[in-house]
Chains A and B, each alone.
Chain A
Amino acid sequence: MPLTTAIETSGLTKFYGDSPGIIDLDLDVRVGEVFGFLGPNGAGKSTTIRCLMNFLFPTSGSAKVLGLDVVKDTIEIRRRTGYLPGELAMYEPMTAREFLLYFANLRGVAASKKMEELADRFDLDLDRKIKDYSTGNRQKVGLVNAFMHEPELLILDEPTGGLDPLMQQEFQELIAEVRAEGRTVFLSSHILPEVDRVADRVGIVRDQRLIEVDTLESFKAKAHRSITIQFADVVDAATFAAIDNVTRAESRNSGTVLSLTVQGDMDPVVKAASAYDVVSISTRAGELEEVFLSYYAGTHDAS
């Protein structure tokens, strides 16, 4: 039977003494998907990842990666997994090439061709000492290390920290390629747009607990978006307020500008607006973020 679940945790709990790292986590990451693990700093993302990598031993519950037990079969899991830590610490006096060569050796793979290819792609000079790299270039070395042995699962803790927009785009393309090849990516982040562009499904953690898992589309459907329409003439706000999806309607500028908050489908609003002479429409960027912010802050009712 082919493997369908890449990561599966049931009741995974980790306590550091008395303080909780992650509590009662049930998570399913399917093979071939890109899963975004979202949450504010200190929510339990890294604890979860470090349990999956067997750096930490769960206090209770269990976890399977690629169908294998994280504690018993950690070596086999690690053989098939590429990992990027959240706090990337490397051997400062080594050059990137030496560092990557060493890690390829530890895995017993000859990764030099793929390594060069990735370095080219990220525009990274491998023959410089790691201590001389900027934050972004260090991150690139970490990414090359995670990708160079072409693992079937990638576990990436805050992968794009320090990368410039051009390299972030390169990273997104790389993720898209990996997905196209049927491989799985599990990435954590506290930045929504980063996940927005690559992830199929998203899980949100807050205060050591998983609050919700859903597809990005569903989250978007739940999003409250702000839309501002400028009309040539005065329009009646009440007409728009009556639409089901509209939760708020305000007119400004003596009634020629309408500011609306819409939840879900935008279609009825656009259709209603088409009855008038429209000068411009603008929606606020990052509207999805508001949903997440409400999750993060705990103001959103998870039910």
Chain B
Amino acid sequence: MLRSVFAKDLWDRRRSMIWWVIGMGALTAWLAAFYPVMRDSEAMKDFINDFPPEMLALFGIDPATFLTGAGYVQTEMYSFVAPIIVIAFAVSVGVAATSREESTGTMDMLLSNPIRRTTAILQKLDSFALLSFVIILVPAVTLMALNTPLGLKLNTGGIIAISFGLWLLGMVFGGATMLIGAFTGNPTVAGGAGAGFAVLAWVVGAFAELFTWLEIPSKLSPFTWYLHDLPIINGMSSGHVWLIITAAAFLAGATVLFARRNIATEQAVLPERAKAGKRSTATSPRATALLRSPFGKSLWDRRKSIWIWSLGLGTILFATFAAWPALAGDSEAMAGVVEAFPKELLAMFGLTDPTSLATPQGFVSSRTYGSVGPIVLIVFTMTAMTSLVGREESTGRLDLVLSSTVPRRRLLAEKAAAIGVLSLIVAVVLFLIGLVSNALYGTEISLVNMLASNVGLALLGLCFWGIAVALWSSVTPGAAVGITSAVGVVAWFLNGLGSFIDVLSPFRWLSPFYWYLGDIVPLGKGFTFGYLALAVVALAGTAVAVMRFRSRDLAV
């Protein structure tokens, strides 16, 4: 299997691909399974027919086609969920291709062999293309298999067209990542640029319907090309051509740049004199103040990134508030929409109290505290757990820290406290942004509810930290994060499905999402006992980890 760069890249991903394939297949089947419920809902038909189209656009619904299988699949699967997964995959492969190898130093080793640089990168492009193709093939095959049983009435040509477009979309953003990677050699910059470009392209494409000034830029968004002229119904279009041209340009650019690049100049291999002047950094007073303990050091490490997390989530919160006045005038119609939507479908997305959607607290919660917020906070605590605990141990830095006089118990407790404080900083920033937005857009949400929902959100993240760190004390850091993520997904669906599937409802109270969301949206309630449960799990998990850490061999 290890005969070429191409084969080695495939071999590297032999295990992770299994999870991508299973996940993608399960997700597709799951979403498709709800189509019959949707199609047979009379209320849904009325609502689609009566509702203003620009409002439907906010929910990504095209009234002409939504009730057909093709329209449903396009809306629920291909317009948002599948692109996110494919782009996440493409960006991660794009980073791994060159810049990650440069930063870890393996690129030096690889290129010390008698192969041309262009050969190396072209083989990496080939493996990237093949792996992405496998990822897009899974939903296509799943949908074709379910076509007759679920009465989706999809035509093969349409599935091929949208899948091909999805593959090209992955090539475009993966290509952009590789291009920046080949230009800078820095994996963080490359990944950030690829992901940032994708987010920008999506925002421009998705909001073009609402804001006229976005019309021109939206024509340049790969997302617009990808969904141009409803490929799942009408087949290939000029959108595909634009995607091909862009992907080819990015990938060709990456190849050319890589062939001429000074390898690993970001790293420590340059003569020190070459980077002497500008790299000298005086120790700041803030560093002096924070670098007193593992707790302060953990905050200092995140002194920049914490603002990206907080303000990123804050921006979404602000935008959601800003969208409310436009909807408020139609709040009766909104209530109608909500009535029309099958409850099961909404519950699946975590909204177990659908009538609240017509209220500001319900609407804002649905877009932030009930959806993106938990994901961001959990990813945040998982990332912090990996870098503060897992990677510290595996790189051997924990050896060095523990060669000082810090007791193990104190070290872990301080790191846990730091993650707690960082989560609270996110909550405080969100609270302040919420206060301002609340005043600006007249949503009249009570102060206590605002405070409570942010505390609840932070506690939800910390609850998952508790689970992850307790697992870390027994298994590898990677497995701890993996198992915790799986627990998160199961808990999420347990809460949603438990609200209407009788078999599951007795177990619903086991889900941290039930403690957090319950049947009342976060902004619609104050402090609850559920939040207390989240805090208890966070503390208990930390306590277990601290106890076990005291008498454990450190791995390197």
Q: Are A56 and B553 in contact (CB under 8 A)?
A: yes
Please, what's the 1-or-0 string for B379-406, where 1 marks a CB less than 8 Å from any CB in chain A? 0000000000000000111111111111
Residues of chain B within 8 A (CB-CB) of A5 are none
* Complex partner residue of B406 from A57, A89, A106, CB under 8 angstroms: A106
Q: Are A125 and B403 in contact (CB under 8 A)?
A: no
Q: Which of B265-286 contact A (CB under 8 A)?
A: 267-268, 272, 275-276, 279-283
Closest chain-A Cβ to B486's Cβ sits at a distance in Å of 26
Give the distance in Å from the alpha carbon of A134 to the alpha carbon of B268 in the complex. 6
Q: Are A90 and B287 in contact (CB under 8 A)?
A: no
Stretch of B191-199, B289-297, B534-542 with 4 or more beta carbons under 8 angstroms from chain A = B289-297
Residue of A nearest to B397 (CB): A89
* Complex partner residue of A95 from B272, B281, B556, CB under 8 angstroms: B281
Give the distance in Å from the alpha carbon of A135 to the alpha carbon of B288 in the complex. 26
Residues of chain A within 8 A (CB-CB) of B291 are 98, 101-102, 105
CB of A276 within 8 Å of the partner chain: no
Please, what's the 1-or-0 string for A42-76, where 1 marks a CB less than 8 Å from any CB in chain B? 00000000100111110000000000000000010
Residue of A nearest to B287 (CB): A98
Q: Are A55 and B554 in contact (CB under 8 A)?
A: yes
* Complex partner residue of B401 from A54, A106, A132, A134, CB under 8 angstroms: A106
* Complex partner residue of A129 from B279, B399, B405, CB under 8 angstroms: B279
CB of B478 within 8 Å of the partner chain: no
Please, what's the 1-or-0 string for B399-434, where 1 marks a CB less than 8 Å from any CB in chain A? 111111111000000000000000000000000000
Q: Are A78 and B403 in contact (CB under 8 A)?
A: yes
Residues of chain A within 8 A (CB-CB) of B552 are 57
Residues of chain B within 8 A (CB-CB) of A93 are 301
* Complex partner residue of B283 from A83, A98, A107, CB under 8 angstroms: A98
CB of B113 within 8 Å of the partner chain: no
User: Size of chain A's interface in residues, with CB distance under 8 A?
Assistant: 41
Residues of chain A within 8 A (CB-CB) of B301 are 91, 93
Q: Are A131 and B267 in contact (CB under 8 A)?
A: yes
Give the distance in Å from the alpha carbon of A81 to the alpha carbon of B556 in the complex. 21
Closest chain-B Cβ to A259's Cβ sits at a distance in Å of 41
Residues of chain B within 8 A (CB-CB) of A83 are 400, 403
Residues of chain A within 8 A (CB-CB) of B212 are none
Q: Which of A119-154 contact B (CB under 8 A)?
A: 125, 127-129, 131-135, 137-138, 145
CB of B112 within 8 Å of the partner chain: no
Known: A87-B396, A101-B288. A127 touches B402 (CB 8 A): no
Q: Which of A132-184 contact B (CB under 8 A)?
A: 132-135, 137-138, 145
Q: Are B272 and A132 in contact (CB under 8 A)?
A: yes
Residues of chain A within 8 A (CB-CB) of B16 are none
Give the distance in Å from the alpha carbon of A78 to the alpha carbon of B282 in the complex. 30
Residues of chain B within 8 A (CB-CB) of A102 are 291-292, 297
Residues of chain B within 8 A (CB-CB) of A85 are 396, 399-400, 403
Residues of chain B within 8 A (CB-CB) of A134 are 268, 272
CB of A2 within 8 Å of the partner chain: no
* Complex partner residue of B405 from A79, A98, A101, CB under 8 angstroms: A79
Residue of B nearest to A138 (CB): B268
* Complex partner residue of A106 from B276, B282, B293, B554, CB under 8 angstroms: B293
CB of B551 within 8 Å of the partner chain: yes
Q: Is the interface of A mostly helix, strand, loop or mixed?
A: mixed
Q: Are B272 and A133 in contact (CB under 8 A)?
A: yes
Give the distance in Å from the alpha carbon of A16 to the alpha carbon of B555 in the complex. 10
Closest chain-A Cβ to B366's Cβ sits at a distance in Å of 38
Known: A55-B554, A81-B403. A128 touches B279 (CB 8 A): yes
Residues of chain A within 8 A (CB-CB) of B279 are 128-129, 132
Q: Are B293 and A137 in contact (CB under 8 A)?
A: no
| B291, B403, B406: residue with the most chain A Cβ atoms closer than 10 Å | B403
Residues of chain B within 8 A (CB-CB) of A90 are 397, 400
Closest chain-A Cβ to B99's Cβ sits at a distance in Å of 15
Residues of chain A within 8 A (CB-CB) of B551 are 57
Closest chain-B Cβ to A298's Cβ sits at a distance in Å of 27
Residues of chain B within 8 A (CB-CB) of A75 are 405, 407
Closest chain-B Cβ to A82's Cβ sits at a distance in Å of 8
CB of A231 within 8 Å of the partner chain: no
CB of A206 within 8 Å of the partner chain: no
Residues of chain A within 8 A (CB-CB) of B280 are 125, 127-128
Please, what's the 1-or-0 string for A99-118, where 1 marks a CB less than 8 Å from any CB in chain B? 00111011110000000000
Closest chain-A Cβ to B149's Cβ sits at a distance in Å of 49
Give the distance in Å from the alpha carbon of A227 to the alpha carbon of B272 in the complex. 44
Closest chain-B Cβ to A167's Cβ sits at a distance in Å of 14
Give the distance in Å from the alpha carbon of A81 to the alpha carbon of B400 in the complex. 12
Known: A98-B291, A128-B279. A57 touches B553 (CB 8 A): yes
Residue of A nearest to B556 (CB): A87
Residues of chain A within 8 A (CB-CB) of B292 are 102, 105
Residues of chain A within 8 A (CB-CB) of B281 are 95, 127-129
Q: Are B405 and A106 in contact (CB under 8 A)?
A: yes
Known: A101-B291, A134-B268. A127 touches B282 (CB 8 A): yes
Q: Are B397 and A56 in contact (CB under 8 A)?
A: no
Residue of A nearest to B394 (CB): A89
Residues of chain A within 8 A (CB-CB) of B556 are 87
Q: Are B283 and A105 in contact (CB under 8 A)?
A: no
Give the distance in Å from the alpha carbon of A219 to the alpha carbon of B554 in the complex. 36
Residues of chain A within 8 A (CB-CB) of B404 are 78, 103, 106-107
Give the distance in Å from the alpha carbon of A95 to the alpha carbon of B300 in the complex. 13
Q: Are B268 and A132 in contact (CB under 8 A)?
A: yes
Give the distance in Å from the alpha carbon of A269 to the alpha carbon of B244 in the complex. 84
Q: Are B397 and A127 in contact (CB under 8 A)?
A: no
Residue of A nearest to B304 (CB): A93
* Complex partner residue of A107 from B275, B276, B282, B405, CB under 8 angstroms: B405
CB of A97 within 8 Å of the partner chain: yes
| B396, B400, B401, B553: residue with the most chain A Cβ atoms closer than 10 Å | B400
Q: Which of A200-215 contact B (CB under 8 A)?
A: none
Residues of chain B within 8 A (CB-CB) of A89 are 395-397, 399-400
Give the distance in Å from the alpha carbon of A88 to the alpha carbon of B288 in the complex. 23
Residue of B nearest to A127 (CB): B280
Residue of A nearest to B270 (CB): A132
Closest chain-B Cβ to A23's Cβ sits at a distance in Å of 17
Give the distance in Å from the alpha carbon of A285 to the alpha carbon of B552 in the complex. 46
Closest chain-A Cβ to B292's Cβ sits at a distance in Å of 5
Known: A55-B553, A105-B293. A127 touches B283 (CB 8 A): yes
Closest chain-A Cβ to B297's Cβ sits at a distance in Å of 6
Q: Which of B330-388 contact A (CB under 8 A)?
A: none
Residue of B nearest to A133 (CB): B268
Known: A50-B399, A53-B399, A89-B396. A78 touches B554 (CB 8 A): no
Residues of chain B within 8 A (CB-CB) of A91 are 301, 397
Residues of chain B within 8 A (CB-CB) of A129 are 279, 281
| B281, B283, B292, B404: residue with the most chain A Cβ atoms closer than 10 Å | B404
| B268, B282, B292, B301: residue with the most chain A Cβ atoms closer than 10 Å | B268
Residue of B nearest to A57 (CB): B553
Give the distance in Å from the alpha carbon of A50 to the alpha carbon of B552 in the complex. 12
Closest chain-A Cβ to B480's Cβ sits at a distance in Å of 20
* Complex partner residue of B294 from A53, A106, A128, CB under 8 angstroms: A106
* A-B pairs with beta carbons under 8 Å apart, 12 shown: A16-B553, A53-B402, A55-B554, A75-B407, A78-B403, A78-B404, A85-B396, A85-B400, A90-B397, A106-B293, A128-B279, A134-B268
Give 9 nearest A-B pairs by CB, closest first: A83-B403, A106-B404, A102-B291, A89-B395, A55-B554, A89-B396, A105-B292, A56-B553, A79-B405
Taking A53-B399, A90-B400, A105-B292 as given, write out 6 further A-B residue pairs in contact, using a Cβ cutoff of 8 Å, ordered by the A residue number.
A56-B554, A57-B552, A78-B402, A98-B287, A129-B281, A138-B268
